[in-house]
Amino acid sequence: MGPGPKTVKELPDNFPKDIPVYDQNNVEHITFISGKYKNRGLEIAAFFPKIILSPLLISMDSSKSATSDQNWHGKLKNMWEVIATPVGDTRDTVIIEWHNIETNKNFVVNYYKTELEKSNYKIDLTSEGGDTEQFSFSREDGLSGSFYAEDSDKERTGTEKIILTVNLNSQDE
């Protein structure tokens, strides 16, 4: 099933090189969540329905031309594929957090939008203006993530919290 979320000191090897990590020296936390762990509850909940439904799904297969032994072997193989196929998202997730940095929120937000667009990520605006700003980003190769910045303390310069979340392909793949 894989280990749970863990705090790491460095980015994993499969972290995309084209996603910048702003002010690496002031990163407060890097959390790695294995794709195997994220949907553990969902996978366990789906296991028994998969076992019950997979024979029904396989019996609906219209290929009747093979001999009975070959057909039986093929059906068992197909049944195992249905049971073993993950239900949810199995990508690893990396969460990078900064707290109380001196840089203005708008500067950091614009920096990330510009750099991600340069690397062909599509930016989907979630919320803009006020104390917080967040957006999601994705690319055709399946890499995706989100960005969140908060600055509610108007008496202090800088940004209170920044969270960059990146969903990437598992290292096992």
Distance CA 91, CA 149 (A): 24
Distance CA 69, CA 72 (A): 5
> What is the chain's length?
173
> 94 - beta bridge partners?
32, 166
Cα–Cα nearest to 130, from 148, 142, 115? 148
**Which pLDDT band holds residue 173 (cuts at 50, 70, 90)?**
very low
The string of pLDDT tens digits covering residues 110-157 is: 999 999 999 999 998 777 777 889 999 999 888 999 999 998 777 778
pLDDT of residue 127: 78
CA angle 69–75–81, rounded 5-degree value: 140
pLDDT of residue 92: 84
The string of pLDDT tens digits covering residues 46-86 is: 555 655 555 555 555 545 444 555 565 565 555 555 555 55
Q: Token digits for 131?
A: 């104390």
Residue with the larger pLDDT of the pair 48 and 98 = 98
pLDDT at 25 over 60: yes
Q: Specify burial of residue 9 (Cβ count, 10 A radius: 0-12, 13-18, 19+).
A: exposed
CA-based max dimension of the chain: 78
| Beta strand pairing call for 92-101 and 132-138 | unpaired
Distance CA 148, CA 86 (A): 29
Instruction: Identify the three-state secondary structure at position 30.
Output: strand
Continuous H helices in the chain? 35-38, 40-59, 68-84, 105-118
Q: Token digits for 71?
A: 């057909």
